[in-house]
Amino acid sequence: MLLFNVNVSLTKIMQFNTTNDINSNISSHKFVGPVELVQHHSTQLDGFLTLAQLPLNRPVGMSPIVLQGLNANDLEHNLRLKAIEMGLKGQSVEEALNGPMRNHLRFLVIKDLHLLQPWYHHTIRRYEAESRLASEGNQDGAFLVRYRKEDRTYVLSLTSQNEPKHYRIEEYLSRWSIEGGQYFETIMEVSVLLIYIYIMLYIYLSVC
């Protein structure tokens, strides 16, 4: 069964650490980027179970992961191919890869990348999604993404506290979000929010 536990590489992290006030409300510290977040938690717990002091570094020569199923080298290769596919040649290709057009090329490369991911289960129904999660033991953090033909939306189905949860991934003006949350250009980027949702569910259930 092609299900995955939470293990997503983030390229942008703006907030993660959470604390509970006297009324058990959840608040967040915010950071400029992932480097600042890691530096903070190397000396301060602030909700972490242990300090982040032992980095697990990539092997020498290994390209960093940009999104699940796509590392930095593969991304650059596909950006170049997409530019050539659009009819660009020579210096025009280099200008596209290093100029304002880069973001559009990136969008074209990754907009359908979710279709190739093992966690994408296409047009299965809700009960089938729950059955597949259950077949893996309802492990916390297990998830899949499925497509709803009737309204042309996607659904993120995940397990928390041994129970299935379902979140609709909605489209608005060619961008995607989970039930009106932060908007992204592609389904792959929306999947990054999976970590945030899972952590918030875990903390909420822990303090109730």
pLDDT digits (tens, 9 = 90+) for 148-175: 988 888 998 988 888 898 988 888 888 8
Residue 101 sits in which domain range? 68-114
- Asked whether residue 186 is assigned to any structural domain, the reply reads yes
- Asked whether residue 34 is assigned to any structural domain, the reply reads yes
Do residues 143 and 152 make contact, with C-beta atoms less than 8 angstroms apart? no
pLDDT digits (tens, 9 = 90+) for 17-74: 444 444 444 445 778 888 888 888 888 887 777 888 888 887 888 777 776 667 889 8
Q: What percent of the chain lies above the pLDDT cut of 70?
A: 76
- 140 and 186 inside one domain: yes
Whether residue 13 has pLDDT greater than 50:
no
3-state DSSP of 138-204: CCCCCEEEEEECCCCEEEEEEEECCEEEEEEEEEECCEEEECCCCCECCHHHHCCHHHHHHHHHHHH
Identify the CA nearest to 189 among candidates 87, 78, 99, 69. 69
Structural domain count, the chain: 3
- Asked whether residue 15 is assigned to any structural domain, the reply reads no
Predicted TM-score of the model (pTM)? 0.57
- Asked whether residue 120 is assigned to any structural domain, the reply reads no
